[in-house]
């Protein structure tokens, strides 16, 4: 067991290391160096390029640059944003909170909603409820998040604020501020939920359907348990296990949704920061958000893997 | 030998087709796809591409739907119907080519990992799992930022980031095929790697790959729309994603210009749903366990 955990943690370290390496070489992939990307489509002369190169250390040997980049990351230094003229770490630090709030709330609601719909649908397979809810889920899944976001904000009009996280006119103090943020978060989180809940529902549904004809359910019924108890105590816990892994495996999709939803609603999180970094392009900033977003998704997945060990008695025993 | 093989394959295809036509959702999806593809191909014959040029826009700005402009006009006075029609070409083109690239990489990695085994397989599977977990849009954004803007870049960015799930599927299927006795027989008779893979493994794996392809296209089309929406698409081309970007940047929401917002988004939804329906129907045909009449 301990060896298994150590193996998983080793895998996580290797995964994050791969993200770090990818983050470095990705932005140096094209012939020349990042200054080519940064100055694309602008009038610059040789001297300006040389200055830019020296400023960012691109004139140093690649090994030295890589060493400096990794050393910086270990100290929490991800360079300086070209556009904001502030350190990338500081900018990311400011934006993590809103993203965690938005993604966390939406995922929680989407998982609850998806699992509930999936269980109900599978238990009454091919009923009107099952067919309608599967259809609606597929429809939500087919929609680009940003499009749904724009539609929602057009349909609701002035009912909800269409951008940002709080009004500057809101009085200080915990409750007024919290209410203001919640008011701003309604549309972004609704959009995110609508786009991601389908996967949870469909996975839960098919994984419960797999269990439906299992012998232990017949036994449970033969014992005289009510239908509801058979479902809650026997079928659902078993079907939940594969679902849990998939929920975490799909966390990357939620991050993807967050990038466009934050862009549409100007929600001041990491997604909007990524979008802002595209405009320059602000390569140090983009590199920072890439490493942080990809790295945290990988860490989340390893955590899920470990959680799975705790949850599944079959794996725990072996 | 070959004639018997082909006879059997033809029989398999026709029975698959018969099974497929029993699935109403799949048929609807197929018909919708057929119509959309025909319309997209007809665009240059039926319509005039000069209407896409901002400098030659004939209408007024933000004009609601009317007899002259069925879907209204955009912020520069171009016909939204014309933009949507031409946009479907780019969305389909990128969606399909990116899928071909993604499925090709996935099949190559999956078959190699399963067939050769050992360290190469362990390494390939590690990379596959890494890409499976990595948020693909984040990587695709980084890729299309550093590479020059254009259709090729978008195709590459989507293809390179979305192959992992097909690789896993193909590997599992290859492993199960290679465990069967006829593979052992082929090897004993002196069949090399190329023979075993080309003659036995690939034909058995391809139906699954095909099903996977229809589901991947749906993802690729959404990915294209997303990248173009973020401004990473080819600036000289009209696609559904770039239309939605323009709608967002030029305030279609505050203008209440629903006619500019609905067509490109609905286009994506309809195509993605159609591909998903076809994919699910094919999945049901190939995997009898999913059929309703158990």
3-state DSSP call for residue A80? strand
User: CA dihedral in degrees (B218, B219, B220, B223; nearest 10)?
Assistant: 130
Residues 6+ apart with CB under 8 A from A101: A181, A185
Average pLDDT in chain A: 85
Over residues A93-139, the pLDDT tens digits come to 999 999 999 999 999 999 999 999 999 998 888 889 999 998 899 88
Is B275 contained in some domain? yes
| Residues of chain B positioned with their CB less than 8 A from the CB of A30 | 146-147
Neighbours of A112 (CB within 10 A): 13
Is B4 contained in some domain? no
Testing the interface with A: which of B25, B33, B137, B246 to mutate, by most A Cβ within 10 A?
B137
* Mean pLDDT calculated for residue range B188-200: 87
Taking an 8 Å cut-off on Cβ atoms, the answer to whether B135 and A18 are in contact is no
Give the pLDDT confidence score for residue B32 in this predicted structure: 92
Is B90 contained in some domain? yes
B293 band by pLDDT with thresholds 50, 70 and 90 = very low
Share of chain B above pLDDT 90, in %: 28
Q: Which residue has the higher pLDDT, A98 or A238?
A: A98
Give the pLDDT confidence score for residue A32 in this predicted structure: 57
Most confident of A233-237, B78-82, B160-164: B160-164
The yes-or-no verdict on residue B294 having pLDDT over 50 is: no
Give the pLDDT confidence score for residue B17 in this predicted structure: 85
Cβ-Cβ pairs closer than 8 A, A with B, add up to 134
Is B59 contained in some domain? no
Share of chain A above pLDDT 70, in %: 96
Give the pLDDT confidence score for residue B101 in this predicted structure: 95
Give the pLDDT confidence score for residue B128 in this predicted structure: 92
Taking an 8 Å cut-off on Cβ atoms, the answer to whether A259 and B253 are in contact is no
Whether B64 contacts B101, CB under 8 Å: no
| Residues of chain B positioned with their CB less than 8 A from the CB of A143 | 265, 268-269
Give the whole-angstrom CA distance, residue B9 versus residue A37.
Answer: 51
Residues of chain A with CATH 1.10.3720.10: 95-317
* Mean pLDDT calculated for residue range A77-84: 83
Domain of residue B222 covers 15-44+79-290
| Residues of chain A positioned with their CB less than 8 A from the CB of B126 | 14
* Mean pLDDT calculated for residue range B248-266: 84
Give the whole-angstrom CA distance, residue A305 versus residue A283.
Answer: 33
Over residues A9-27, the pLDDT tens digits come to 888 888 899 999 988 888 8
Choosing among 3.90.1310.10, 1.10.3720.10, 3.50.50.100, 3.40.50.2000, the CATH entry for A95-317 is 1.10.3720.10
Question: What are the distances in angstroms from CA A26 to CA A20, A30, A37, A52, A70?
Answer: 10, 8, 12, 19, 14
A260 vs B226, B258, B276: nearest CB: B226
Give the whole-angstrom CA distance, residue A297 versus residue B242.
Answer: 28
Q: Does A151 touch chain B (CB under 8 A)?
A: yes
Taking an 8 Å cut-off on Cβ atoms, the answer to whether A151 and B265 are in contact is yes
Over residues B2-16, the pLDDT tens digits come to 678 788 878 888 888
A160 band by pLDDT with thresholds 50, 70 and 90 = confident
A273 band by pLDDT with thresholds 50, 70 and 90 = very high
Give the pLDDT confidence score for residue B156 in this predicted structure: 93
Q: Nearest CA to B222 among A195, A267, A191, A198?
A: A195
Lowest mean pLDDT among A38-42, A58-62, A84-88: A38-42
Whether B37 contacts B92, CB under 8 Å: yes
Q: Does B248 touch chain A (CB under 8 A)?
A: yes
Testing the interface with B: which of A146, A196, A282, A287 to mutate, by most B Cβ within 10 A?
A146
Testing the interface with A: which of B135, B231, B256 to mutate, by most A Cβ within 10 A?
B135
Most confident of A76-80, A233-237, A287-291: A287-291
Lowest mean pLDDT among A142-151, A159-168, A255-264: A159-168
Give the whole-angstrom CA distance, residue B105 versus residue B292.
Answer: 33
Task: Please tell me whether the peptide bond between B234 and the residue prior to it is cis, using omega within 30 degrees of 0.
Answer: no
Q: Which residue has the higher pLDDT, A178 or A29?
A: A178
Q: How many structural domains is chain B composed of?
A: 1
CA atoms within 13 A on the CB side of A255: 28
The yes-or-no verdict on residue A145 having pLDDT over 60 is: yes
3-state DSSP call for residue A87? strand
Lowest mean pLDDT among A52-66, B43-57, B174-188, B189-203: B43-57
pTM of the model: 0.88
Q: Does A154 touch chain B (CB under 8 A)?
A: yes
Q: Does A187 touch chain B (CB under 8 A)?
A: no
User: CA dihedral in degrees (A67, A69, A71, A76; nearest 10)?
Assistant: -170
Q: A178: distance to nearest CA of chain B, Å? A: 26
What are φ and ψ of residue B22, in 5° steps? -75, -20
Whether A212 contacts A122, CB under 8 Å: yes
CATH of the domain at B110: 1.10.3720.10
> Which residues 244-273 on chain A approach chain B with CB closer than 8 angstroms?
249, 252-253, 255-256, 259-260, 263-264
Over residues B80-129, the pLDDT tens digits come to 788 888 889 999 999 999 999 999 999 999 999 998 888 888 899 999 98
Q: Which residue has the higher pLDDT, A317 or B46?
A: B46
B290 band by pLDDT with thresholds 50, 70 and 90 = low
Average pLDDT in chain B: 85
Give the pLDDT confidence score for residue A11 in this predicted structure: 83
> Which residues 146-165 on chain B approach chain A with CB closer than 8 angstroms?
146-148
The yes-or-no verdict on residue A318 having pLDDT over 70 is: no
Taking an 8 Å cut-off on Cβ atoms, the answer to whether B147 and A252 are in contact is no
Task: Give the torsion sign (CA, B89, B90, B95, B99).
Answer: positive
Residue of B nearest to A284 (CA): B142
């Amino acid at each position: 067991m301990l060896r298994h955990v150590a193996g998983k943690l080793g895998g996580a370290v290797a995964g994050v290391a791969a993200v770090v390496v990818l983050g470095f070489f990705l932005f140096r992939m094209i012939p020349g160096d990042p200054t080519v990307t940064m100055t694309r489509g602008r009038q610059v002369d040789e001297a300006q390029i040389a200055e830019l190169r020296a400023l960012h250390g691109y004139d140093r040997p690649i090994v030295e640059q890589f060493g400096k980049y990794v050393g910086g990351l270990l100290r929490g230094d991800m360079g300086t944003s070209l556009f904001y003229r502030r350190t990338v770490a500081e900018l990311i630090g400011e934006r993590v909170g809103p993203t965690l709030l938005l993604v966390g709330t939406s995922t929680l609601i989407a998982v609850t909603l998806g699992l509930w719909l999936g269980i109900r649908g599978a238990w009454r397979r091919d009923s009107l409820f099952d067919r309608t809810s599967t259809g609606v889920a597929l429809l939500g899944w087919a929609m680009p998040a940003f499009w749904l976001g724009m539609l929602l904000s057009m349909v609701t009009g002035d009912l909800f604020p269409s951008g940002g996280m709080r009004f500057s006119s809101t009085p200080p103090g915990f409750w007024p501020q919290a209410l203001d943020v919640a008011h701003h978060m309604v549309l972004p989180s609704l959009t995110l939920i609508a786009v991601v809940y389908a996967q949870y529902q469909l996975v839960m549904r098919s994984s419960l359907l797999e269990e439906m004809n299992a012998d232990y359910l017949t036994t449970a019924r033969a014992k005289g348990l009510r239908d509801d108890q058979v479902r809650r105590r026997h079928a659902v816990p078993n079907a939940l296990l594969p679902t849990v892994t998939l929920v975490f495996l799909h966390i990357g999709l939620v991050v993807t949704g967050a990038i466009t939803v934050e862009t549409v609603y100007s929600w001041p999180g990491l997604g909007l920061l990524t979008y802002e970094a595209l405009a320059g392009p602000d390569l140090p900033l983009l590199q920072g958000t890439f490493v942080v977003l990809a790295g945290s998704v990988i860490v989340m997945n390893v955590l899920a893997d470990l959680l799975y060990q705790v949850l599944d008695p079959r794996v725990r025993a072996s | 030998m070959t004639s018997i093989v082909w006879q059997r394959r033809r029989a398999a295809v026709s029975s698959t087709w018969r099974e497929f036509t029993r699935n109403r959702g799949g048929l609807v999806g197929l018909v919708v796809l057929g119509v959309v593809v025909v319309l997209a191909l007809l665009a240059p014959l039926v319509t005039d591409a000069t209407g896409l040029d901002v400098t030659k826009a004939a209408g007024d700005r933000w004009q609601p739907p009317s007899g002259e402009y069925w879907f209204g006009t955009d912020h520069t006075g171009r016909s939204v119907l014309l933009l949507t029609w031409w946009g479907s070409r780019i969305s389909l083109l990128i969606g399909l080519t990116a899928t071909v690239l993604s499925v090709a990489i996935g099949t190559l990695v999956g078959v190699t990992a399963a067939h050769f085994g050992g360290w190469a397989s362990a390494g390939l599977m590690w990379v596959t799992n890494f890409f499976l977990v990595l948020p693909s849009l984040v990587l695709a954004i980084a890729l299309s930022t550093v590479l020059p803007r254009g259709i090729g870049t978008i195709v590459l960015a989507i293809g390179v980031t979305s192959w992992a799930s097909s690789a896993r599927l193909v590997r599992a299927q290859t492993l199960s095929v290679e465990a069967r006795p006829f593979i052992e027989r082929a090897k004993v008779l002196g069949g090399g790697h190329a023979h075993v893979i080309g003659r036995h493994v690939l034909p058995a794996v391809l139906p699954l790959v095909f099903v996977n392809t229809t589901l991947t296209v749906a993802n690729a089309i959404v990915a294209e729309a997303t990248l173009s929406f973020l401004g990473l698409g080819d600036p000289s081309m009209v696609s559904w994603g770039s239309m939605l970007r323009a709608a967002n940047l030029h305030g279609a929401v505050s203008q209440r210009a629903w006619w500019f917002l609905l067509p490109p988004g609905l286009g994506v939804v309809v195509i993605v749903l159609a591909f998903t329906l076809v994919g699910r129907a094919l999945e049901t045909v190939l995997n009898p366990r999913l059929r309703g009449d158990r």
